[in-house]
Amino acid sequence: HSTIREIRKTPEGIMKAQKAFEDFIANHDFRLPREIVYTGCGSSHFLSQPLAMATTRLGGRGAALPCSELLYSREWYSIGNPELLVAISRSGETTEAIKALKALDVPRFALTAYESTLSREADYALIVPAHEESVVMTHSFPAFYFAYLQLLLHSYGKETLDAGHVSSLTDDVLKNENHVREIVEGFDFRNVIFLGSGILYPIALEAMLKMKEMALFWSEAYHTFEVRHGFKSIADEGTLVVLLVNEPFDWHEKLTKEFQGQKARVLTVGRRDTGADYFIKIPELDELASPVLYLPIIQLLAYYKAVSRGLNPDNPRFLSKVVKW
């Protein structure tokens, strides 16, 4: 399948991202401003969220909205006084993204994989050529994230990350491919809940979407501890709970036990185990960059679930690579 080949390209994608970032700063005397609105559709929207969070975390102010909300329901959201609108679209041809790029009267920035309508209509374009055959977004997601994060760090006068190091860490993470396959083959779960907090919450959302897109499989995502407030009622012996966590503390262990008490199985993906049924270790990395290490794991999980269900993740039912109106 092309999808698995694309997932395995994550380390290469990080190096392409670094080159795109370096080319961009070599050719533009431009710094990202403090107040930025991010927008995209589908996976690109789930990417807009950690970018907005990273902006806020680095001392700016980031807001994220799906393109259609920015276009048609903006008055319901607080977006501050943005100085830049960043539209994200892998194809650069999604109708809503092209329209949303012009939704505000501020400079426009495109984050995309191609010279495209989006890049041409923007004032600035960061083109990360992480091209994918797969319908669903895989290694382009961490590549886009990394390239833009480098630009944020650079713009805000912070030290940028060592791309070679980050790329080799993604390579280490990908060595869990067989482990992920064994987990999926060993437990025929009926539903899956992804949990994440802070920067890992949108990664949980992306995991939920990957399961739906690749494996046509019912999945949920919540803020980690929010799941205890009602949502956990659906978890039973047929449930896999995937806990994404950089720095677990005692509440994560309690939460793991609570789900195990309901006979659900827990897969912890993080730096330390929480007493889970399955554990995948994520190496140490600056929290801001950490999404790039979790993404390959959740993509592999969805991929192997699709395969175990006898589906072809390259051509998911009812989906197309570019959504147009």
Cα dist. 105→34, 37, 41, 101 in Å? 16, 12, 20, 10
Considering the rule CB under 6 A, would residue 204 count as an interface residue with ligand F1P?
no
Q: Are 235 and 261 in contact (CB under 8 A)?
A: no
Q: How far apart are CA 178 and CA 24, in angstroms?
A: 37
| Binding track over 29-58 against ligand F1P, x by CB under 6 A | ------------xxxx--------------
Residue 253 Cβ vs ligand F1P, minimum distance, rounded to whole Å: 34
The residue from 49, 94, 170, 274 that contacts ligand F1P (CB under 6 A) is 94
269 sits near ligand F1P (criterion: CB under 6 A): no
CB proximity list for 51: less than 8 A, separation 6 or greater: 38, 62, 64, 86, 88, 145, 148, 149, 152
Cα separation, 296 vs 318, whole angstroms: 24
Select 97 or 302, whichever has its Cβ closest to ligand F1P: 97
Q: Report residue 277 CA to chain centroid gap.
A: 25
Of 11 and 42, the one with the shorter C-beta distance to ligand F1P is 42
- Does residue 135 touch ligand F1P according to CB under 6 A? yes
Query: Any contact of residue 321 with ligand F1P (CB under 6 A)?
Result: yes
CB of 284 to ligand F1P, least distance (A): 30
**Strand order of the sheet with strand 219-223?**
219-223, 191-196, 239-245, 265-270, 278-281
Least distance (Å) from ligand F1P to the CB of residue 296? 16
> Which spans of this chain sit near ligand F1P (rule: CB under 6 A)?
41-44, 89-91, 94, 97, 135-137, 213, 319, 321-323
